[in-house]
Structure 1
Amino acid sequence: MIKDVIGQRYAKALYEIAEEKENVMELYKDLKAVLDVYTENEEFSNFINHPELTKNDRKKMLFRTFKENVNEESLMFLNYLIDKERLIYLDSISKEYLKIYYTKNNIIEVDATFSIEPNEGQKSRLKEKLKKMTSKEINLNVEIDKTILGGGILKIGDKIIDGSLKRQFEMLRTNL
């Protein structure tokens, strides 16, 4: 709960600064890149948050890791989080920033799960149908899960549309 409140507060402040400096998209890309490394590399996140690591060492590590990939303002923000001992909330801050970005730019994130990888044409058609259905731009994340057997599962916000064969077989079994 406190994580969400802190994330919202810092994300809102960062977004307002980004709007003033007209680099919302650049900060969005930077935060996404940092978040990807932070969440996908457990060793990195454990190391950077290690209690025995000094603030200066954390700053140096972040600078070395991200200096080529993110702008100076993003690095300054990360340093600020380190100074305020809020780096552990980076995940929450980044997610809240992305929510603000999506809301202000009329974008919705859709998680789609299929048993096999859809081709580009199928992805494009799905995005167009979802765009008509939601009246929003679609950010489509595709995952593969062979256990669903066929069909697909869509997660749109807090709604789940389960059109998987696995679910249909389960429903058939309970009805028989």
Structure 2
Amino acid sequence: MIKSQVGRRYSKAIFDIAEEKNQVKEIYEMLNSAMVLYRTDKEFKNFIRNPLIENEQKKAVLTEIFGKDSSENLNILLYILDKGRINCIKYIVAEYLKIYYRKNRILDVKATFTKELSEEQRTKLINKLSQKTGKEINLEVKVDKSILGGGIIKIGDKIIDGSIRRELDNWKKS
């Protein structure tokens, strides 16, 4: 709970700075890269979290890794480190992306089908969802053979379950 609150607060401030500098995408990419590195590289994570290592050493490493980014953008990452919030980077990035999607009217949709969609099916689904919601659709498709047929679409908290498995379960209950 606390980490998500920290993520919201920091992401809002960072997004405001990014918009002001017209660097929304660049800052997102830097933060996302830092998050991926923090979550996947155990040595890096242990180094960053080690209380015996001075922040100046940690900053030097971050500067070396992310130095290709502008120094102003890098300062955002160094600020997060200074405030001891690097462990919340996952939440900061997630909230940052939510703000971006909300401002640009983009909707995340997760769809599950028994087989991969053709490009034509994918385009039709995106167009239909876009018409219904009035937003641009960011579609993520997963394959799950256990649903037998049909599909499941998740838009935010709303789930549209048109799978044959659900139909069979409902038929079995009645």
TM-score range, shorter chain: 0.7 to 0.9
Residue 79 of structure 2 is matched in structure 1 by 80
Name which of structure 1's ranges 73-82 and 151-160 shifts more when overlaid on structure 2: 73-82
**Partner Cα separation in structure 2 for residue 16 and residue 77 of structure 1:** 12
Q: Give the SS at the match of 1:118.
A: coil
Residue 55 of structure 2 is matched in structure 1 by 55
1:3 Cα deviation after fit: 1.5
Structure 1 runs not aligned, ≥5 long: none
Residue 123 of structure 1 is matched in structure 2 by 122
Q: Does 1:21 align with 2:21?
A: yes
- Distance verdict in 2 for CA 1:9–1:145, change over 3 Å: same
**One-letter identity of the residue aligned with 1:145:** D
Aligned residues: 173
Structure 2 runs not aligned, ≥5 long: none
**Partner Cα separation in structure 2 for residue 146 and residue 50 of structure 1:** 44
Q: Does 1:103 align with 2:134?
A: no
**One-letter identity of the residue aligned with 1:11:** S
Residue 42 of structure 2 is matched in structure 1 by 43
1:29 Cα deviation after fit: 3.2
1:127 Cα deviation after fit: 0.8
**One-letter identity of the residue aligned with 2:21:** K
Q: Does 1:141 align with 2:140?
A: yes
**Partner Cα separation in structure 2 for residue 123 and residue 67 of structure 1:** 39
Name which of structure 1's ranges 102-111 and 163-172 shifts more when overlaid on structure 2: 163-172
1:113/1:142 contact within 8 Å kept: yes
1:53 Cα deviation after fit: 4.7
1:73 Cα deviation after fit: 3.9
Residue 31 of structure 2 is matched in structure 1 by 31
Q: Does 1:4 align with 2:4?
A: yes
Name which of structure 1's ranges 74-83 and 24-33 shifts more when overlaid on structure 2: 24-33
**Partner Cα separation in structure 2 for residue 52 and residue 151 of structure 1:** 55
Residues 40-83 of structure 1, C-alpha deviations (whole Å, 9 max, x = no match): x2636743434555434443444454456x55444322221111
Residues 75-127 of structure 1, C-alpha deviations (whole Å, 9 max, x = no match): 32222111111001111111111111111111111111222221222211111
**Partner Cα separation in structure 1 for residue 161 and residue 41 of structure 2:** 31
1:30/1:71 contact within 8 Å kept: no
**C-alpha root-mean-square deviation of aligned residues, in Å?**
2.3
**Partner Cα separation in structure 1 for residue 59 and residue 77 of structure 2:** 8
- Please tell me whether Structure 1 or Structure 2 has the larger radius of gyration of its CA atoms: 2
- Distance verdict in 2 for CA 1:73–1:172, change over 3 Å: farther
- Distance verdict in 2 for CA 1:165–1:46, change over 3 Å: farther
Q: TM-score scaled to structure 2, two decimals? A: 0.84
